[in-house]
Chains A and B, each alone.
Chain A
Amino acid sequence: MTSFAGWQMPLRYTSETAEHQAVRHAAGLFDLSHMGEIPVRGPGAGAALDYALTGHLSALRPGRARYTMICAEDGGVLDDLVVYRQGEDEFLVIANAANTEVVFGALRERADGFDARVTDATGDYALVAVQGPEAAGILAPLAAGLDLSAVRYYAGTFGEVAGREAWVARTGYTGEDGFEVFCRPEDAVSVWDALAAGGAAAGLVPAGLAARDTLRLEAGMPLYGNELGRDVTPFEAGLGRVVKFDKPGEFVGREALTARASSGPIRHLAGLTIRSRRIARHGYPVLLGGQTCGTVTSGAPSPTLGVPIAMAYLEPGAGAEGVLSVGIRGEAVPAQLTDLPFYRRRQER
């Protein structure tokens, strides 16, 4: 167990490597109840979110989800978010645990003047995620009232799981197919136990934060505090696509983000494969010809590739020529520039 943003979280249940492999090849079960749930409701909810976030949420159809960000006036990222449109006037914003208070505060402030109500309902929700190629097959018999094949990637629906009311969404942070089940805290144990029992034969195992981190890293997904923060805009992170300049109306950060989008070369997020068994960790320098040309944001052994991988911010032009290395506690270890993501699941359709 480990302390994480005020929550006691399982870092691993047995072996993080085994948990990682289970998610890639069968399924893993995650307790993500630490995530922040912030409902935004009312006739003006869509317009309020268009103003508050970088995305065009009013254009989202009910039952669909969007990956988006909330930025400060200067374009710095306050958090990355998943937003579900649960109904015409009902949105559910999912924030990182460490940022829930900041996101809630900013949303409430920015929703002022809109016909929308913002609440922090984190304590009203537990979140159990089942992720992996077997996820749909494991969930289906426990959600008999739902047609999961109709729930597409980045979509969600109300329904019952193991007889408990839930919002069931086909989203995740692992690079695999999978579902996130938002239920009442008092129903969480029933939902967890039913999925654990129902999935065991298919190879489902409980998985902790450590596996979640290596899974998202292989999938090239950013982690707030590592790849994202107040000092980066979505563009440096290679996620400029989440900024919808063509949406109607004003939005917080537009001016700064417009300037950033049209400015010259900026530091950029890159993937690295390390030519060693040592791990390039958060904060280690990336070197080119003995000079620092970047900083590692996340690094871990990749169970899928069998070598250490990392993401790093590199200065403009770094890596275009020459051999990069990472300074690992005094030793320059060669590193190969690698396209992100490191891992992409095979699509069935």
Chain B
Amino acid sequence: MSVPSELRYTAEHEWVSVEGTSASVGITEYAAEQLGDVVYVSLPAPGATVTAGEPCGEVESVKSVSDLYSPVDGEVIEVNTELEDDPSLVNAEPYTAGWMFRVRVAQDGNGDAALPPDLLSAAEYEELTRSAG
């Protein structure tokens, strides 16, 4: 199972890729494997305000439906419209073509993205999935 080292993670199995103050979000390969074939993704609307740890969409697979949580605070600036036609991208390429939405994150005093303190490193996330069995 792949857990790219350059990404940050949440305990809800989302990944975050931060560039400047823009954060791209998706679900991890572990999550996609647990869900099975994804058939529908409901994403927040561009312009919407999202809050870390709060549901902002849904990921529906053959067997289940799960809330999608935002890992960060900010404003949604773009969503992956490709998923409308091909939600299976989430299973096939969870870290690339299966990305879900992009958020403009508020800046801290240094002009960096203000990220929640509880985001996990790749090593921490891997540990979490291992203990989940």
Contacts and interface: CB of A to CB of B under 8 A. Distances in A.
B65 interface: yes
A278 B40 contact: yes
A64 interface: no
A11 B63 contact: yes
A279 B40 contact: yes
Contacts of A174: none
A300 to B, nearest CB: 6
Contacts, number: 37
A210 B40 contact: no
Interface in B100-120: none
Interface string B6-50: 000000000000000000000000000000110110100000000
A15 B37 contact: yes
Nearest to B34: A11
Interface string A82-119: 00000000000000000000000000000000000000
A210 B63 contact: yes
Contacts of A15: 36-37, 91
B60 interface: yes
B39 A277 contact: yes
Nearest to A278: B40
25 contacts: A11-B36, A15-B37, A15-B91, A16-B36, A16-B37, A16-B62, A16-B63, A17-B37, A17-B62, A17-B88, A210-B36, A210-B62, A213-B63, A214-B62, A277-B60, A277-B87, A278-B40, A278-B60, A279-B62, A279-B65, A281-B65, A300-B62, A308-B39, A329-B58, A329-B65
Interface of B: 36-37, 39-40, 42, 58, 60, 62-63, 65, 87-88, 91
